[in-house]
Amino acid sequence: MKNLVLASTSTLHGQEYLEYLLPLIKSHFRDCSKILFIPYARPGGISHEDYTATAGKAFEKAGLQVHGIHEFDSPHEAVKQADGFFTGGGNTFLLVQQLYRNDLLPALKEAINKGVAYLGTSAGTNIAGLSMKTTNDMPIVYPPSFNTLGIVPFNINPHYLDPDPASTHKGETRETRIREFHSHNPQPVVGLREGSWLEVKGKNIKLKGDLTARIFEAGKEAFEVEPETLLNDLN
Amino acid sequence: MKNLVLASTSTLHGQEYLEYLLPLIKSHFRDCSKILFIPYARPGGISHEDYTATAGKAFEKAGLQVHGIHEFDSPHEAVKQADGFFTGGGNTFLLVQQLYRNDLLPALKEAINKGVAYLGTSAGTNIAGLSMKTTNDMPIVYPPSFNTLGIVPFNINPHYLDPDPASTHKGETRETRIREFHSHNPQPVVGLREGSWLEVKGKNIKLKGDLTARIFEAGKEAFEVEPETLLNDLN
């Protein structure tokens, strides 16, 4: 059965990388010896090697080891052999482009559906939705499609940010952007605030963390859901 | 000779739509009787009709009339016959998708290169650059390409926003996003703050407005340029 943790962010303000997720990581991957790290999103342009070292250092604190997918001759084979996945944040366009370039989406989806444990943060969470069309990232590369894994039956907006009533900036608010998305797309969107994550266990999708999440459905008023709410019927 | 005004934003905080640009609009389009408005970017999902009415109301204050491109049987013919263009802001992905769908980019580029006056705000400014890869917008639709008009030999980031030192949010800053862009693309990026615009007259590209702009070049430190600076050699 599916077993995913889809976190809005890797890092909370004032904390170290993955710090708030470490207890969760420890239990989520407790039976895993071949955790595959997917560093394709390269935050700030960091190399695959450096990004893998960063993730490795954090996982070490949970007594776990990760291997970067770029270390394998066949990324496809690496996905098939892994008994755990961590896809880190960064640029979603780049992540999705690389996943398509290496034809990894079907294999990744198959493994996840079989129950291989998956952790995503930010861009790595975004790709668990139906499409990457609710990413916040800049389109720095052109992927062959915006369709993603569709492990959950909706879209996710990580790093969800409430409008700042004091702002004088005229760029669109996050809520306006998601309303624009709904002018062209039917699926619901979960606005996942930093510190929140979705726990997917089999058919159950549960909001975790201390904060509410904001749910956007086409043609309806947005609304908040409390932690521990099941989002199974959101589609 | 080329004759463009490329504004970061249509609207300044506390002002009405296009208010700060009205004197400029009046002189920019003074000889124009067939100004074509391109409402494809549909901010907030507004209809082409409503968006054109909004633009029309503002232009009226400058004694000018606009027609929405959607009112014409042949958008292509409308572009060829116009003696002025205004492309409004909204979602750049949607704007670019519609421009490709109607095969308008070559005709628009030809008209602009012949000297037809052009005004862009936000998304309408973005498309004057080499690509839309430095837009801030959400990828709500999948355009067939990210390549745009290339009227200026660099990319533009409208609504440029300085990092907020007080922010606890962990989403990428604008500067980080542009650095990520430069991991994959060579062209310079002009970070154009709200209230600034580029004036393109023939070969001259000049920064206008009261604010400095931030220039990003691959592999270099970003730097500020003063109003009235010529950006002709930025490529």
Q: For residue B167, what pLDDT is reported?
A: 79
Q: Flag whether pLDDT at B9 surpasses 80.
A: yes
Q: How far apart are CA A193 and CA B6, in angstroms?
A: 35
Instruction: For residue A67, count CB atoms less than 10 angstroms from its CB and return exposed for 0-12, middle for 13-18, buried for 19 or more.
Output: middle
Give the pLDDT confidence of A133-185 residue by residue, as tens digits: 999 999 999 999 999 999 999 999 999 988 877 777 777 789 999 999 999 99
Q: Which residue has the tokens 């170290």?
A: A16
At residue A46, the pLDDT reads 94
Residue B123, pLDDT > 90, answer yes
- Give B136's contacts in chain A (Cβ within 8 Å): 138, 171-172
pLDDT of B62:
95
Burial of B163 (0-12, 13-18, 19+ CB in 10 A): exposed
Averaged pLDDT for residues B129-143: 97
Which pLDDT tens digit goes with each residue over A88-147?
A: 999 999 999 999 999 999 999 999 999 999 999 999 999 999 999 999 999 999 999 999
- Tell me if chain B has a CB within 8 Å of the CB of A13: yes
Catalytic residues of A: 122, 137, 159
pLDDT at A162: 85
3-state SS assignment for residue A130: coil
- B13/A180 CB distance under 8 A: no
**A83, A89, A90, A91 alpha-carbon torsion, rounded to 10°:** 80
Contact B146 A146 (CB under 8 A): no
Which residue ranges form the domains of chain B, and what is each CATH number? 3-225 (3.40.50.880)
Instruction: Say what the ipTM of the complex is.
Output: 0.92
Both structure tokens of B55 = 């633009």
> What is the predicted pLDDT for the residue at A173?
87
